[in-house]
Amino acid sequence: MKKVFMGLLCGGFLVVAYLALVPGPVDAVAYRPPPAPPLTGVLTPNDQLKTAELIGVGRVIGPEDVAVDDHGRIYGGTPDGRILRIDGDRLETFADTGGRPLGLHFDNQGNLIVCDAVNGLLSVNAQGKVQILLTEAEGVPLGLTDDLDIASDGTIYFSDASTRFHVHDYLLDCIEARPHGRLIRFDPRTGQTEVLLRDLYFANGVALSQNEDFVLVNETYRYRIARYWLKGPRIGHHDLFIDNLPGFPDGVSANRQGTFWVAMFTVRNSTMDRLHPHPWAKNLVARLPKWMWPKPEPYGLVLALDESGQIVRSLHDVDGGHLRTVTSVEEHDGFIYCGSLYNDRIGRLRVPDGL
């Protein structure tokens, strides 16, 4: 028995020594998150997301973003590289990017512009033909092309979530807590590309204001949204649009009538917040199997913000049984459509009164 005990003790020591000394996948730094805001007032939990109609249940896997065309057909990308199109009860493959399509948005010519996490910025015409628009910006390859919005003149604003970690390792970006994200502007008419913002903490959703005088980009792993000014006296400058959100902001979209919809991947994770100030602990966690990492709470949450950065409405699914891990919200013709990186469905519900 003594030999067995000593063997276990030595084995445990070797495991600890390995975890402490062998270089891991991240070089974490300390981050001290602010206390999570209470879910009170406008953030008080409700069941409004549970009223959503569910589309494509069990047939649409991981539609991270959703787009709707002028005929009311719904589009969503899947992990195997396909972009699916739903027309009533009919589901078909519209295109295959060969990568991982995330952000989707139609341009003025009816092309579906796609942020593909593997292959960069793409354009898909009405026949489903895929064209690569961009694979790098200012000499740096696109690491995880994520989300986009398109201005009235055709200019594309999009995010490169992380130049260091790719789509299958995006959680390492959270653990490391270093800024690897970018906000990029691309003019398809001239081919000109410009990096507007660097050093973002997982640059995610992108949305333009009603007058296109500023553009928003979510910093998922800092619980905040940054604003970059495109017009007016602050042109070329950036500031915080909103800080200390109650969860992880993923997608953001605009109805171009003064409302921004923010999809929250989940609410704040207290375990991760406690780990963040301790780089050594995060470096250890990053070496562990993923099933041992802090788990996101199965929660559905969507926020509506006005153009001054005030939260004006929140929609919840407290137990995540209907819609959880919402990663995109798109408004179209009086309805909002909710996509998810992991769900096997798309949610649709009527825009609440007053929005």
Instruction: Say which residues have a Cβ less than 8 Å from residue 348's Cβ, sequence separation at least 6.
Output: 52, 53, 54, 55, 335, 336, 337, 338
Task: Provide the percentage of residues in the chain whose pLDDT is more than 70.
Answer: 94
Structure tokens at 191: 């081919």
Nearest-Å Rg of the Cα atoms of the chain is: 21
Look at residue 354 in the predicted model and tell me its pLDDT: 85
Q: Where are the beta strands (DSSP E) in 89-137?
A: 90-96, 101-106, 112-116, 120-124, 130-134, 136-137
**Paired residues of 185 in beta bridges:** 157, 194
pLDDT at 4 over 90: no
CB-based contact 314:322 (threshold 8 Å): no
Question: Looking at the chain, how many residues does it have?
Answer: 355
Torsion 283-286-289-293 (CA) sign: positive
How far, in Å, CA of 326 to CA of 85, rounded? 19
**Mean pLDDT value across residues 153-164:** 98
- Among 296, 273, 157, smallest CA distance to 214 is for 157
**Mean pLDDT value across residues 37-55:** 98
- Domain 56-350 superfamily per CATH: TolB, C-terminal domain (2.120.10.30)
pLDDT at 12 over 80: no
pTM: 0.94
Tell me the residue type at 299.
Y
Render pLDDT for 56-85 as a digit per residue (tens, 0 to 9).
Answer: 999 999 999 999 999 999 999 999 999 999
Question: If you ran DSSP here, which 8-state letter would residue 40 be given?
Answer: -
**Mean pLDDT value across residues 253-276:** 97
CB-based contact 276:28 (threshold 8 Å): no
The helix-helix angle for 2-21 and 279-287 (nearest 10°) equals 110
Render pLDDT for 99-122 as a digit per residue (tens, 0 to 9).
Answer: 999 999 999 999 999 999 999 999
How far, in Å, CA of 161 to CA of 64, rounded? 14
Measured CA angle at 227 (ends 221, 270), to 5 deg: 20
pLDDT at 17 over 60: no
Task: Provide the percentage of residues in the chain whose pLDDT is more than 90.
Answer: 93
